[in-house]
Amino acid sequence: MIRWILIAVLSIGIAGTAFWGYQEHQEKNAVLIQAENTYQRAFHELTYHVDLLNDKIGSALAMNSEQRLSPQLVEIWRITSEALSDVSQLPLGLLPFNKTEEFLSEIGDFTYRTAVRNLESEPLSDEETKSLENLYKQSGDIKDELRQVQHVALDNNLRWMDVQLAMANEDEQLDNTIIDGLKTIEKTVEGFSEGNGDSSISNTTVKEHEYKYLNGEKISEDEALAKAQKLFNVKNRDKLNISTSGKGADVPLYSISYRNDKKSAYMDLSQKGGHPITLLVDRPVGKKQISLNAGMEKAKKYLEQFNFENMTVFQSNQFDNIGAYSFLYSKDGVRYYSDAMEVKVALDNGDVLGLTANDYFMNHSEREAPEPEISEEEAKKMVNPNVEIQEQFLAVIDNDLGEEVLTYEFLGTLGNETYRIFINAKDGREERVEKLSGSEINYASAT
């Protein structure tokens, strides 16, 4: 009898302990993931901020006016402090990372000093410009190293918790890529004594005009289906699914989708006027057969079919076997940055795989042709004299306040970098300076 009671008590005890242990284990895992996520966030943010820092310093080099340069220096100072706070969140207590921190505070000091000064009466001296150039070069090197470490870390699914463990057991000589990579960065620095996450198009437009000028009558579901049938090239209309958008939509839409075993397609049509807002076709894309240039002709033809007039190609990019093209509305020699659309073409047979005209329909209207008040020559004088101007356009962009302003757009080079500079065509104000990139070392092939 006593034996049985004992066995029962003991087994309940064991079951209880197992349950408790399991819960502890779950909790520990949850905490570990939480900590890991914090580290991951700090690390990825650090690389992004250093990248951004490099970009902003690069842009500052091509700036000319104090009204533009002062806020830019403040911006750099702000990003520096964010990068510093990222560094401090990393589990690097056991790793010497102080040189990088020193470098960051050096940038911070420099930009703070120059930003609070009245640059109008006391512009940057030659020496200061030189040290800015130096900082640009150094931040570029650090950025490359960090991006490399980040690539390895992402590729191999490295965990910061492992790094911490590896550093805690120092006698074990682990081949730890993160540690090695960070040590390299530290050496790179030793040798020396926000958000930019926009494609350059949307970067120049901030104001949303709320589809004010969307024209046409409201179309019925039937008409929408007919349009989709034609665009998707589907014989049987029963295979199309249609739904209407809910209360949260910026503009009422019909969403039409189609799917067979080879491809799927999706489209948003505005209920008013039946304009195509978004279109995406997904299918496997074969080997590249046609050139980026031939794809562009296909994209142009495609836009003509919708009666989009006066659209000019703004940029084109090849990503593997897909061509991506941006178009801007252009009238009377003026490019309107807010009226943009993108087309995606499969470079195996030239089919159009996507169209997005959201920005275009949100902003487009028939505007009166604006007249510049200063001459091109006068505007050129407002550009940093070190920038060699290569190409110029007239462009309407949204300024910092979200108003549409007419500008002279200059594309110029300084050293090996290319810049896009907007000078207000009314008062010569330097509205915007952007450093253009668009390609990067292929980390996957660099060994």
Partner 1 sequence: MTNKKLPVSLLIMSFLFIGFHIAQPPKTVHAFSSQVIQQGAVGDDVIELQARLQYIGFYNGKIDGVFGWGTYWALRNFQYEFGLEIDGLAGATTKQKLTQATEYNEQYVKNQINQGKDFTHYGGTEGTGGTNQSGGNNTGNTESNTAVNVPQGYSQNDIQLMANAVYGEARGEPYVGQVAVAAVILNRVESSTFPNTVSGVIFEPRAFTAVADGQIWLTPNETAKEAVLDAINGWDPSGNAQYYFNPDTATSAWIWSRPQIKKIGKHIFCK
Chain positions 23 to 52 lying near partner 1, rule: CB under 8 A, are 33-34, 37-38, 40-41, 44-45, 47-49, 51
Residue 176 touches partner 1, criterion: CB under 8 A: no
Residue 403 touches partner 1, criterion: CB under 8 A: no
* Beta carbon nearer to partner 1, 11 or 243: 243
Residue 338 touches partner 1, criterion: CB under 8 A: no
- Residue 54 CA to chain centroid, in angstroms? 15
Residue 410 touches partner 1, criterion: CB under 8 A: no
Cβ–Cβ under 8 Å, residues 278 and 355: yes
* Residue 203 tokens, joined: 């970067």
Residue 432 touches partner 1, criterion: CB under 8 A: no
Contacts of 353 (CB under 8 A, 6+ apart): 280, 281, 282, 283, 285, 322, 344, 345, 346
Residue 413 touches partner 1, criterion: CB under 8 A: yes
Q: What angle do CA 412, 291, 354 make, to 5 degrees?
A: 85
Residue 443 touches partner 1, criterion: CB under 8 A: yes
Residue 339 touches partner 1, criterion: CB under 8 A: no
* Beta carbon nearer to partner 1, 293 or 307: 293
- Cα–Cα distance for residue pair 427/69, rounded to 1 Å: 17
Residue 236 touches partner 1, criterion: CB under 8 A: no
Which range of residues in 104-112, 119-127, 221-229, 321-329 is near partner 1 by CB under 8 A? Answer: 321-329
Contact set for partner 1, span 261-320 (CB under 8 A): 264, 266, 268, 278, 280, 282, 290-294, 296, 315-319
Cα dihedral 273, 278, 281, 287 in deg (nearest 10): 120
- Cα–Cα distance for residue pair 430/408, rounded to 1 Å: 10
Residue 438 touches partner 1, criterion: CB under 8 A: yes
- Cα–Cα distance for residue pair 175/166, rounded to 1 Å: 9
With CB under 8 A, what is the number of residues at the site for partner 1? 83
* Beta carbon nearer to partner 1, 2 or 446: 446
Residue with tokens 């006698």: 171
Which range of residues in 20-28, 56-64, 173-181, 411-419 is near partner 1 by CB under 8 A? Answer: 411-419
* Residue 358 tokens, joined: 């959201």
Cβ–Cβ under 8 Å, residues 363 and 393: no
* Local structure of residue 239 (DSSP, 8 states): G
Residue of 250, 304, 373, 403 interacting with partner 1 (CB under 8 A): 250
Phi, psi of 327 (to 5 degrees): -120, 145
Q: Measured from the CB of residue 378, what is the shortest distance to partner 1 in angstroms?
A: 25
* Beta carbon nearer to partner 1, 93 or 195: 195
